Structure 1
């Protein structure tokens, strides 16, 4: 703000031209605008030209110098006059600084950004300034810089290597300084939860809620594990997970300061990533064996087929009893409709790592590992660690339930995701039974750019219905496309991601339609049962809650239109929307102004932990240039308008009256 006001102050009348040619003022007032390099286009750019001449405060000719020497009193006269002018200039500058907030406010209060009509109309309006009009000029410049950097794909692609190289040669301080002043400032709320409180309050003033996110995640680094024993690795990760659980507890406590807030959790930070990969492998193999044993491919298996599958488990006897006794007990429990057949949902709920009664079935043994079709097991110590992970998560859920803070479980890489889903479904089954005042407590995330995402969403809905809890689902397109495709290529695996952006759009829209369709189906059931058509679907009666987390404006508009068609009230928060901090503010603030449930992810954490998150944000902005171009255009138009307003203010700056100084 101060720099903008400095640039707007005229040299007082009668001041020497050498003052105007100083590097500070020349760079701020008469050079070409520093914003030009961030322009979406150069047309219409305004440039100030330096004046051809300036009135001189005093002559610098030899004659005048001699006169000054001849008359000592003239020195003090000039000093007094110069001091007076300096005071007047300072007063003028101070006056401008005190009026600066009003100047910025007037720049965006002269006209209303919203039409006041339909939310869809306001979302479609590409000149809607609601996302930029209340930002400070420095924030606008920062956003312009970051978005501009994101357009350099080579820089974005090389960023991980540059940071890695800086770490190798111990040059992280200057690199982190640049990151902290640019991408970190744009996309993160701070380095601690307390740092984010101001951001959360500011968002709340715009009708936007917050999802506070301790942005610490863990990935596999086998080279880092080679020199350690299994016991050392286990101890290290358990200690780290306990520490992060304490930090997430602080995150939940901080989020609870704002009503209806969320806290985000990454399950990879709550245990060993190696353990999560092993659990994922076990679960994936078990489901694959189920599909293979299902001879008629109708999705269900008979008791004999059930027995074959149990025999493939690492420890089918659980160290006691006979196989037939174990199968009889498990099949009776799984066959809930008593038709003599069991589908995958009922099997997975019954024979589960999440149950104390059946966890021992997955205990690894040498004989099981040598079997051809065996399901890979886990050592007893690994099963104990998995139980510890569940205990950490349940403790955090208890705290969240007490403080009425909802939890958002983030999706991560595909080689962790089956284990993450297994944990999330376990928590939903235990905490999403009773309707809460602010809706279900646990939300799971589905990355719809994965080919199997829609099928898993539908399968999880079936599971929720059978176990009588609310399925709360956040739908995203996905955040790991680059690394996932690279891994699939290196390992010779099938690409798990949809073939092309259009296929991803189709998958995402299908997920939204499925969730809204289940709401509509429930609404019709209520109307038919109670013979009332005026009873709107509410949080207490809906089987699902949908969270549309998307930066794609078309997806948001499409969802709003579907909500209007189905009569789903924005205030019901049966459908919520979300974007990341620093992205798509036009969408976020428009939804907030129209009363929709809209939330911003507010990540925080030490900068060296947040680097992976920031790299993904840069990659996402680089790959979605269309949306970023709209953002940049809005930012640029706002800056031009403020610049024009500032020039108008310049003309109104009072000038020091002419007098003795001018004559001299």
Structure 2
């Protein structure tokens, strides 16, 4: 109760947003109704007092740098000391329930229904991935396909057509093989030839052996592409949006080739397969332009999820260890500039392409970036109902943005992790380490949560 009392004593939050922006040609008119993300009553109306208090406590814990840097070690040590059973009793009603949708179809259904009441759609995130050095395992990859297809069915059942499902290429193909492919496909035309070959195979054609792979690796590649084909075809049949997540830069070239190959096979009429673009990387804008050009050469739709990125700390460490230039932007502000530039460019491309050939997910917890995107949409005449530009945030965070956008008629998704506690928490720990800037920056949201608690307890 002392925590509640301290929260109730916090000063009231005063916030006023002034959005002014000049386009390249003219002054953008101030919107008729400016959106404020300080509306705590709307943001948390769907949550109980207990859920609001839990959110404040968990986000407060996430603001401590030591815990974020050492979260996986803390979890492993706690499991040794407390035992698996006791640790689960502590973590399930706290960290797990705050950020994870559940570990079975029923719990996922309950989360989906709760979000649906406030107009939020699911973007399901299975905790399936692999890194270089892990032993290739065909049985694991095939199991990952089955899990992905099951989640695709669940996504469709709860959200219908255009529901989102996230996936990682490393869940379906060996990361070691992807690394070898990335190192041999640096030339732009080499990339296009590989993409065209893989797209042709996934569309029903033949696959020519790759000269620099041995017989075993070529067989492994073909099996991997067959898995990508099955997932892409299934998503296309259900009219889902299959979002390929970005990973480490040493794999991203091959991941982009795989994602664009799937786009070549399945994006004939609209974007089914979307790639993710990490704007903390210096070359993000150039990468977007290059990959958009490739889809245009193939005559297929282009889908893009725009994020700031989740591997910044590790990328900087790798550049030091490998003695190569840091691929990341020097500051959060520089990343924000790149992010806003990318979003503005793609929103203009949505209009240039006539709407349905280019779709964008503005995935951000940054209020300024979201407001800039909204202003740009209005200036270009992009309606939220077009479903060409949508928004996304992580489940359990930034409800003040997500719920408010939904209440104003925008299409909004929550990225919702799914899986058992001891499968998902290590995954979340790795993401927490990489998302320290986001998690440490939750002070404003904690203030809004405190205001809502004060309103619930004291009536103002």
| SS of the residue 1:571 aligns to | helix
Aligned residue for 1:136? 48
Aligned residue for 1:547? 361
Q: Does 1:644 align with 2:458?
A: yes
Give 2:3's match in structure 1, choosing from 34, 55, 69: 34
Deviation at 1:508, TM superposition (A): 0.8
Q: Does 1:593 align with 2:407?
A: yes
Q: Distance in 2 between matches of 1:239 and 1:247?
A: 12
Number of residue pairs the alignment of both structures matches: 438
Q: Distance in 1 between matches of 2:435 and 2:450?
A: 17
Cα pair 1:147 1:621 within 8 Å, conserved: no
What is the RMSD of the two structures over their aligned residues, measured on CA atoms?
2.7
Give 1:432's match in structure 2, choosing from 267, 275, 299: 267
Deviation at 1:408, TM superposition (A): 1.3
Q: Distance in 2 between matches of 1:462 and 1:631?
A: 39
Aligned residue for 2:174? 272
Deviation at 1:608, TM superposition (A): 2.4
Gaps of 5+ in 2: 13-29
Question: Counterparts in 2 of 1:222-621, with a 5 A limit?
Answer: 222=133, 233-234=135-136, 237-257=137-157, 258-259=159-160, 260-284=162-186, 287=187, 347=193, 349=195, 359-360=208-209, 362-363=210-211, 377-435=212-270, 440-522=271-353, 537-539=354-356, 543-619=357-433
| 1:281 to 1:608, Cα distance in 2 relative to 1, 3 A | farther
Deviation at 1:219, TM superposition (A): 2.1
Q: Highest Rg: 1 or 2?
A: 1
- Answer with 454-463 or 175-184: which moved more: 175-184
Q: Distance in 2 between matches of 1:404 and 1:463?
A: 23
CA deviation vs aligned residue, 1:212-242 (integer Å, no higher than 9, x gap): 121222223x4xx6xxxxxxx44xx111000
Q: Distance in 1 between matches of 2:76 and 2:439?
A: 26
Deviation at 1:636, TM superposition (A): 0.5
CA deviation vs aligned residue, 1:342-397 (integer Å, no higher than 9, x gap): x667555557697576742x33xxxxxxxxxxxxx322211211111111121122
Cα pair 2:360 2:390 within 8 Å, conserved: yes
Q: Distance in 1 between matches of 2:32 and 2:75?
A: 42
CA deviation vs aligned residue, 1:468-522 (integer Å, no higher than 9, x gap): 1111111101011122222222222322211111221121112112212223334
Aligned residue for 1:121? 34
| 1:168 to 1:271, Cα distance in 2 relative to 1, 3 A | farther
Cα pair 1:413 1:480 within 8 Å, conserved: yes
Q: Distance in 2 between matches of 1:491 and 1:594?
A: 47
The normalised TM-score by structure 1 is 0.62
Q: Distance in 2 between matches of 1:209 and 1:615?
A: 25
Cα pair 2:268 2:299 within 8 Å, conserved: yes
Q: Distance in 2 between matches of 1:469 and 1:622?
A: 37
Give 1:624's match in structure 2, choosing from 434, 438, 443: 438
| 1:167 to 1:637, Cα distance in 2 relative to 1, 3 A | closer
Deviation at 1:34, TM superposition (A): 3.2
Aligned residue for 1:181? 93
Q: Does 1:213 align with 2:182?
A: no
| SS of the residue 1:134 aligns to | coil
Cα pair 1:546 1:575 within 8 Å, conserved: yes
